[in-house]
Structure 1
Amino acid sequence: LCSLLSVPLDVKLLLTVRYFLQRLSLKGKVKWRSNATDLTELKCPIKWNVQRRCGYRNSLIILDSLLTTFFFLTISFFLSPFTIALHRLILSTFSRMNTNSSDEFFQATNHAEQTFRKMETYLQHKQLCDVLLIAGDHKIPAHRLVLSAVSDYFAAMFTSDVREAKQEEIKMEGVDPEALRSLVHFAYTGVLELKEETIESLLAAACLLQLSQVIQVCCNFLMKQLHPSNCLGIRSFADAQGCVDLLNVAHNYTMEHFLEVIQNQEFLLLPTAEIVKLLSSDDINVPDEETIFQALMMWVRYDVQHRQQDLGVLLAYIRLPLLPPQLLADLENNKMFSDDLECQKLLMEAMKYHLLPERRPMFQSPRTKPRKSTVGALYAVGGMDATKGSTTIEKYDLRTNTWVQVGVMNGRRLQFGVAVIDNKLYVVGGRDGLKTSNMVECYNPISKVWSTMPPMSTHRHGLGIAVLEGPMYAVGGHDGWSYLNTVERWDPQARQWNYVASMSTPRSTMGVTALNGKLFAVGGRDGSSCLRSMECFDPHTNKWSMCAPMAKRRGGVGVATYNNFLYAVGGHDAPASNHCSRLSDCVERYDPKTDTWTTVSSLSVPRDAVGVCLLGDRLYAVGGYDGQSYLNTVESYDAQNNEWTEEVPLNIGRAGACVVVVKLP
């Protein structure tokens, strides 16, 4: 057996098994130990009750024979071949390590370069060339191997069972000859000349030949050449070639520079289908919808004879309800529009939107949705954060969908108010952590300069601020000693503050907003509890009157108006002395026509001291406090679908931030 197996380990294993069986028949405990020097000692105590009877001993002999046969077969057919192979592999490896220890490997650093240089020499002398590319009147020799190594197009052609794989001459239809010659030269040298006059033909040929590296560098070159005079052409070309990155960059450039683009010949020469693509975009950077309408009319008048027939179709992409009423009246009497039934239908829809403002919720459509650039930018000012009071100002741009820090307040303020007059931010009152302020500052978001304004007559924090028909109102709050019901009005012409009628109830941390020519003060705290009540101020009678109360008590409530409704969002409903307030995710909507409140879809999370503002056709709930942390999350409300959607978050968490919209020129 030892001779057959040829492996010492196998023999030792077999002998050990036999020895093990013999020990079983003699002792009650077995200690097994391999004599192999490469194995660890193994002791296996097994209790046996040995009956020293002949019949039992005969059974052990039979068992010994059976197990010996079993292990022999197993080791012979399974263990031995593997062990022999393993031994031979180890011996072979050590043998080579001992005999070839002086072997070396050499790696040529410029081998590929020298090889391709030699191939280029063959090409120049037309040696060993095995294919002739024909483009127009030009015949370009090449080597199939080189072309296949660089171009997926040629690789598929020469390695597949197609006719061209065996042809010596291949016609390249629709390829510019000079562009093809440049790309063949690139295949051998890796060098390519990019010129403004030939870049488009070069890119078109590279797209056909599937030269990804060349496509990328050509697209990058064209991106650098973008200008209002050529961006439309590059955009169309990228679309035709399937260059998605170039198409997106050219499209975004066109949207951003639309006012300059429409002054160029390319715009006037656009086909109707391309005009539709432009007019249907939400991302056009214009100050108002009228600018887009005037651009369309300029395009129509350039070739009025052929383009007037498309006016009804194209006018559907203009958001006519957002045009000034006077312009709509002028268009109704314009023969170009009055003779077209589709135009008349669209004009009537827009006129109804203006004539029946109380029915606007019923008239909502894609044509009533403002474009992103026309709604302005959302500003979040200050608020409580992890540092116990942020001084930063963040701006949200709907077109880029990003929050960016744009300024810093002159000092720490908490529970202040902000209003927008003439596209400037007025920061009013508040407290710095020690004392309550009556200070007013004005921030110009264009120049990013702060200026000091005349102070209020009363020191206030937790006040509400709103603009109504020109003047700005500072409502209620706390003066550091007591809750206030007094109201001051800022006259921008006279540049002074004057008292108006006081509220019926002292209020702090309430929501204040303007709707239908009146000022509304919603909820808040009066020193003993949070309030459900709401009252409104009529500036023409200088009187406050009570309105229907909300379903829930709310302090730290955010308010905003949309489509002639007032929305009360979030807040807390605990007593003023209880700092572990019960926070609310509830949202209620007030209809001034019926003087009733309705509960609508709740916020995704409870938000106390939440900033709420209308941007475009959505209400934005910004930041707040959830009982554990200051939130940087933002969500927006779609009134048509009655649902909240998560938006891009603030850069830092803020509670009590003042959120307003500024429309910059």
Structure 2
Amino acid sequence: MKKVEKVEKLYACSETSSSKQSISSTGTTASISTPQDESFKLDKHAERCLRTMEDYLYKQQLTDVILIAGQKRIPAHRLVLSANCEYFAAMFTNSLRETFQNEIELKEVDGDALWGIVRYFYTGIIDLLEDNVETLLATASLLQLSSIVEACCQFLIKQLHPSNCLGIRRFADIHGCTNLLHTANVYTNDHFMEVVKNQEYLLLTADDVAMLLQSDDLNVTSEESVFDALRRWLEHDPKIRQKESSRLLAYVKLPLLTPAFLTDYVENNEMFREQRSSQVLIMEALKYHLLPERRPMLQSNRTRPRKATVGQLLSIGGMDTLKGATTIDVFSLRTNTWRTLVNMSSKRSQFGAAVVEKKLVVAGGRDGLKTLNTVECFDFNAKTWGSLPPMTIHRHGLGVTVLEGPLYAVGGHDGWSFLNTVERWDPTTRQWTYISPMCSQRSTVGVAVLNDKLYAVGGRDNSSSLSTVECYDPHSNKWTSCAPMSRRRGGVAVAVMNGCLYALGGHDAPSSNPHASRFDCVERYDPKTDTWTTVASMSIARDAIGVTVLGDKLLAVGGYDGQQYLSLVEAYDPLLNEWHQVTPLNSGRAGPCVVIENSLTF
């Protein structure tokens, strides 16, 4: 008995001990392990439950509410509706009147769309079709189902077509779908020429046409296309729409039409002939052509070209961290983007470039320490490089421009000395000939054509940077001096806008001093008064800037600030006298040649 009691006590003690023990067959105690806690998970449990609920839905079992939309009655489960939709959750859990109603009417809701959404609550699947996507989106928007709204928007984006984009744009605007509205608007602008050929365009209201035509982002080849689009809309219902003709004509940039087009197709159009307001607009446009000297005072939104009609800006080569960029990058004002068009066929820096007869001509420059006289051209149509006869003199730091057809190579440095010589290439004879030399030797000179004369601005000679300016008349073959700039500017950038010369940046160091003081200041030259005035400064002091006019803005591209090659691109608005930054270059570069080409499509 004592032995048995001892064993029982030992067993009882082991039951309460934190380290559980057992008695072995020999009578001794041994440790045993307790299995760890486990959890069991049934695969796809939630899906099975929802599938069962869906089964109940179709059998109308355990349903506790009926949704009424139009003629459709949809039984459903409050719990499922609330779990999937905050709109229903607020309705059923906040002691609203609907909380206790067995039937709830949803006014102005499409019954089929609502039934599709209710089934989505049970299945997580909804069918998007061309026939139902708009009603689904409207219903989902009312029920605050953002995931379905976004899915519908993405579906509609894929369906965009010139025949339906205006309707989708209007639908997106009504329902506050910001991304869809933006995308449809961009698509409409991109495909404007095809959009206006479709019935949807002809059925627009006058206000919708006004909103469309006033956009500067229309992808059109010329302003004539915009006028033709307006004419097509007016002639679709002339008796009713003639009263809108003057108001809508104001959205066509008439001053940018040719005088012949204005006379033949606008002034003589019966839609505008009897409209006084239309005649005022036509006279404004004709004055713009008849009085070119007054154009700076006649600037308005109607004289500002649309982004697609200003051509493409080409940034060609230049100096970069690899000591010579070879790419030609293209900037589209309408898309506000850069892309690489092609690589140059050879490496060169401090060269000149211009567009002659729809070909890009690149002349002179340096390849390492070697100064070049070679000339090559890129055919925009064939997308191929070819060579032209070389210049008579090797030149780097030259200025290149086109005046009345021929191309001029101005000044520069031949590797030994600064040059005042100028030679001209005639595309007809394909020959280079000398013209009268400049009064001063000039390298890194800024050149531009204004009022049928060639201007050579600033640059460097053997001793210092220059502030002097001279002007060449091709008919007399003579150079004359003009008023000097307020500063000496080597490496200056020069362009023409609104009848004036603009000189940007540059440096004032003598040729032997590499530590130049660079400028952010800009000067404007008026040939009528032979005076320079200072305008708004750029954001960064720099030289070796590429500059051109794109539309109604002056663009300053790249440059060198003394420490780095810049990708910065700035645009100058002469009306506001302000600079603002635009999309930068893909990589920093100094001394890119910048030209405009109208035949490229982006």
How far is 1:426 from its partner?
1.2
Query: Please, which of 187, 204, 217 is the counterpart of residue 138 of structure 2?
Result: 204
How far is 1:357 from its partner?
1.6
RMSD: 2.0
Distance in structure 2 (CA, Å) of the matches to 1:610 and 1:434: 22
2:150 match: secondary structure: helix
Query: Please, which of 295, 301, 321 is the counterpart of residue 366 of structure 1?
Result: 301
| 1:51-66 matched pairs, under 5 angstroms | none
Report what 1:190 is aligned to.
Answer: 124
Report what 2:332 is aligned to.
Answer: 397
1:252 match: secondary structure: helix
1:287 match: secondary structure: coil
Report what 1:452 is aligned to.
Answer: 387
Query: Please, which of 199, 219, 242 is the counterpart of residue 176 of structure 2?
Result: 242
Deviates more, 1:553-562 or 1:477-486: 477-486
Report what 2:446 is aligned to.
Answer: 511
The question of 1:227 aligning with 2:150 is answered: no
1:478 match: secondary structure: coil
Instruction: Give the partner amino acid of 1:372.
Output: K
2:420 match: secondary structure: strand
The question of 1:121 aligning with 2:68 is answered: no
How far is 1:560 from its partner?
0.4
The question of 1:381 aligning with 2:335 is answered: no
2:378 match: secondary structure: strand
Instruction: Give the partner amino acid of 2:197.
Output: Q
How far is 1:259 from its partner?
0.8
Instruction: Give the partner amino acid of 1:176.
Output: D
Report what 1:637 is aligned to.
Answer: 572
Query: Please, which of 202, 209, 222 is the counterpart of residue 268 of structure 1?
Result: 202
2:367 match: secondary structure: coil
Instruction: Give the partner amino acid of 1:232.
Output: L
Q: Deviations over 1:135-166 (max 9, x none)?
A: 22221111112112222322232233433232
Deviates more, 1:301-310 or 1:341-350: 341-350
Distance in structure 1 (CA, Å) of the matches to 2:505 and 2:496: 15
Report what 2:22 is aligned to.
Answer: none
Distance in structure 2 (CA, Å) of the matches to 1:210 and 1:355: 59
TM-score scaled by length of structure 1: 0.83
1:419 match: secondary structure: strand
Instruction: Give the partner amino acid of 1:352.
Output: K
Distance in structure 2 (CA, Å) of the matches to 1:141 and 1:149: 16
Report what 1:152 is aligned to.
Answer: 86
Distance in structure 2 (CA, Å) of the matches to 1:166 and 1:204: 27
Unaligned 5+ residue runs, structure 2? 1-18, 20-32
Report what 1:462 is aligned to.
Answer: 397
Distance in structure 2 (CA, Å) of the matches to 1:164 and 1:288: 60
Query: Please, which of 562, 571, 585 is the counterpart of residue 627 of structure 1?
Result: 562
Deviates more, 1:445-454 or 1:545-554: 445-454
Q: Deviations over 1:60-93 (max 9, x none)?
A: xxxxxxxxxxxxxxxxxxxxxxxxxxxxxxxxxx
Distance in structure 2 (CA, Å) of the matches to 1:268 and 1:406: 38
Q: Which has the larger share of helix?
A: 1
The question of 1:135 aligning with 2:54 is answered: no
Instruction: Give the partner amino acid of 1:277.
Output: M
Instruction: Give the partner amino acid of 1:575.
Output: P
The question of 1:218 aligning with 2:152 is answered: yes
Q: Deviations over 1:19-78 (max 9, x none)?
A: xxxxxxxxxxxxxxxxxxxxxxxxxxxxxxxxxxxxxxxxxxxxxxxxxxxxxxxxxxxx
| 1:237-316 matched pairs, under 5 angstroms | 237-316=171-250
1:148 match: secondary structure: helix
Distance in structure 2 (CA, Å) of the matches to 1:326 and 1:593: 29
Distance in structure 2 (CA, Å) of the matches to 1:159 and 1:365: 59
Identity %: 59
Distance in structure 2 (CA, Å) of the matches to 1:108 and 1:518: 87
Distance in structure 1 (CA, Å) of the matches to 2:380 and 2:111: 55
The question of 1:418 aligning with 2:365 is answered: no
2:231 match: secondary structure: helix
In the superposition, relative to structure 1, how do residues 384 and 208 fare at CA in structure 2: closer, same or farther (>3 Å)? same
Query: What is the number of residues matched between the two proteins?
Result: 571
Distance in structure 2 (CA, Å) of the matches to 1:295 and 1:241: 28
How far is 1:111 from its partner?
2.1
In the superposition, relative to structure 1, how do residues 382 and 112 fare at CA in structure 2: closer, same or farther (>3 Å)? same
In the superposition, relative to structure 1, how do residues 164 and 100 fare at CA in structure 2: closer, same or farther (>3 Å)? farther
Q: Deviations over 1:535-574 (max 9, x none)?
A: 1111122211111111111110000010001000000111
Distance in structure 2 (CA, Å) of the matches to 1:114 and 1:475: 83
How far is 1:619 from its partner?
0.7
